[in-house]
Amino acid sequence: MNAAATAGTWKLGDLEVNRIGYGAMRLTGNGMMGNSDGQPIDREAAVDLLHSAFEQGVDHIDTAAFYFSPLRSANEIINRALSSWHGDVVVVTKVGPARHPSGEWLGTVRPDQLRGQVEENLRQLGRDCLDVVNLRAAGPRTASIAEHFGALAELRDAGLIRHLGLSAVLPEHVAEAQAIAPVVCVQNSYGLDWRRADESGLVDLCGEQGIAFVPFFAVSGLRREAAAGQERDARVQLVARAHHATPAQVRLAWTLHRGPHVLAIPGTRNPAHLAENIAAGALRLTEEELALLAQPGEGTA
C-alpha cells in the first residue's frame, strides 16, 4: 500500500481518490499573492515535488487559475507535471473569484462569465474536460448561489466539466445546489482552531449525503494563507510527542478522524514536509486524544 492510501479512499462522483491529496496554492509562493522572499519557485523543483507526491500515492490535487504569482502559475506547473506522469490524477479546480494579471482581486464574476473561467482552466491544464470544478462563493454569506451554480451545471451538461463542487459555503447553499445538480465535494476552512463547519452542521451534512468534505487551512489554521507557525497549542504538542509525530501531522489526523468522507489537501514546497503530510494518514489517534483535542483551546472558533 502506498503512503497516501493509508487513510483510505473516497469517491468524488465516480472518481475514487486517496483521502490524502495536495493543495497547489503554495506552488506559486507563500500564499496566492506571490512569494514571501520575492523569488519565483523553480519550475523543475515544483514538478519534481508533484512527481514525488504522485509516487507516494497522492492522486488528487486542488488548484485554481487564480493561484499565481508574477512568474508562476499553479495550473501551468500541474500541467507540466502531469504531461510527464503516466498515472491517473484527479484535478479539482475552482471558479468564481477573479484576479487581474497584476494580481489585483476583481471580485466575483457574473454567471455568464464563468464559462470564460472554465475555459481558462482547461487551457492552462491542457485538458478537454475538467474533473471537478468547485464554485467558490463570495459576497454576503447568505446570498443565493443558484444562478452561478446553474451556469456551471450547463457547462457540465455541455461536456466541459465532469463533476461539480462548492467552496466557502453554508449548509443552505448545499441544499440550493443539490436541487440543481449533484455536489461531489464541499471545501471550507476547517480545523482545530476554526470549527464553524461543525457548529453549522456542514461536516455532518456532507457525510449524510455522501459528499466529500475537504478542509483548507487545516494546518495553518487562523494564519490562513501563511505557512504554519510554531505550534502553540499544548494539547497538540502533547499528542504529537506521544506519537513521535509533528504537530502538523496531528492536526491533519484530527481532521481525517472527523469522518471517512473528510479529505485532506495540505500544501507545501518542502519535500520533507510533503512526506510528513502524507504520512499523517497513517496516524491513528486514541479516543482519549480525540476527546482532549475536541475541548475548546486557545484560538478555537
SS (H, E, C) the chain: CCHHHHHCEEEECCEEEECECEEHHHHHCCCCCCCCCCCCCCHHHHHHHHHHHHHCCCCEEECCCCCEECCEEHHHHHHHHHHCCCCCCEEEEEECEEECCCCCEEEECCHHHHHHHHHHHHHHHCCCCEEEEEEECCCCCCCCCHHHHHHHHHHHHCCCEEEEEEECCCHHHHHHHHCCCCEEEEEEECECCECHHHHCCHHHHHHHCCCEEEEECCCCHHHCCCCCCCCCCHHHHHHHHHHCCCHHHHHHHHHHCCCCCECECCCCCCHHHHHHHHHHHHCCCCHHHHHHHHCCCCCCC
Q: Where does the pLDDT of residue 140 fall: very low under 50, low under 70, confident under 90, or very high at 90 and above? A: low
Q: Is 19 a member of any domain?
A: yes
Would the pLDDT of 139 be above 70? no
Across residues 242-255, what is the average pLDDT?
Answer: 95
> Is the model's pLDDT at 53 over the cut of 90?
yes
Residue 32 pLDDT > 60, yes or no?
no
Number of structural domains found in the chain = 1
Is 50 a residue whose pLDDT tops 50?
Answer: yes
Name the percent of the chain lying above pLDDT 70. Answer: 90
Give the closest residue to 35 by CA, choosing from 63, 61, 62, 67. 67
229 pLDDT band (50/70/90 cuts)? low
Is residue 214 domain-resident? yes
Q: What residues act catalytically?
A: 67
pLDDT at residue number 170 = 94
7 vs 35, which has greater pLDDT? 7
Tell me: pLDDT of 248 over 60. yes
pLDDT at 125 over 80: yes
Tell whether 2 is covered by a domain: no
pLDDT for the residue 193: 85
Quick one: what percent of the chain has pLDDT higher than 90? 73
Asked if the structure places residue 3 within a domain, the reply is no
Mean pLDDT, residues 158-170: 97
* Residue 146: inside a domain: yes
Residue 233: which pLDDT band, with cuts at 50, 70 and 90? confident
Q: Judge whether 212 lies within some domain.
A: yes
One-letter amino acid for residue 49 of the chain:
L
Q: Assess if residue 208 is contained within a domain.
A: yes
- 63-81 pLDDT per residue, tens: 999 999 888 899 999 999 9
What is the structure's pLDDT at 178? 98
User: How much is the pLDDT for 296?
Assistant: 66
Q: What is the mean pLDDT of residues 123-143?
A: 89
pLDDT score for 75:
97
CATH assignment of the domain containing 204: 3.20.20.100
Report the C-alpha gap between 213 and 75 in whole angstroms: 23
Q: 144 pLDDT exceeds 80? A: yes
The residue range of the domain holding 214 is 9-294
Please determine, for residue 226, whether its predicted confidence score (pLDDT) is greater than 70.
no
CA-wise closest residue to 69 among 106, 120, 32, 15? 32
Asked if the structure places residue 18 within a domain, the reply is: yes
Compute the distance between CA of residue 90 and CA of residue 263 in angstroms, rounded to an integer.
13
Of the pLDDT bands very low, low, confident and very high (cuts 50, 70, 90), residue 37 is: very low
Task: Say yes or no to pLDDT of 28 above 60.
Answer: yes
pTM of structure: 0.91
Average pLDDT, the chain: 90
Phi, psi dihedral angles at 42 (to 5 degrees): -70, 125
**Least confident stretch, 16-20, 244-248, 296-300:** 296-300
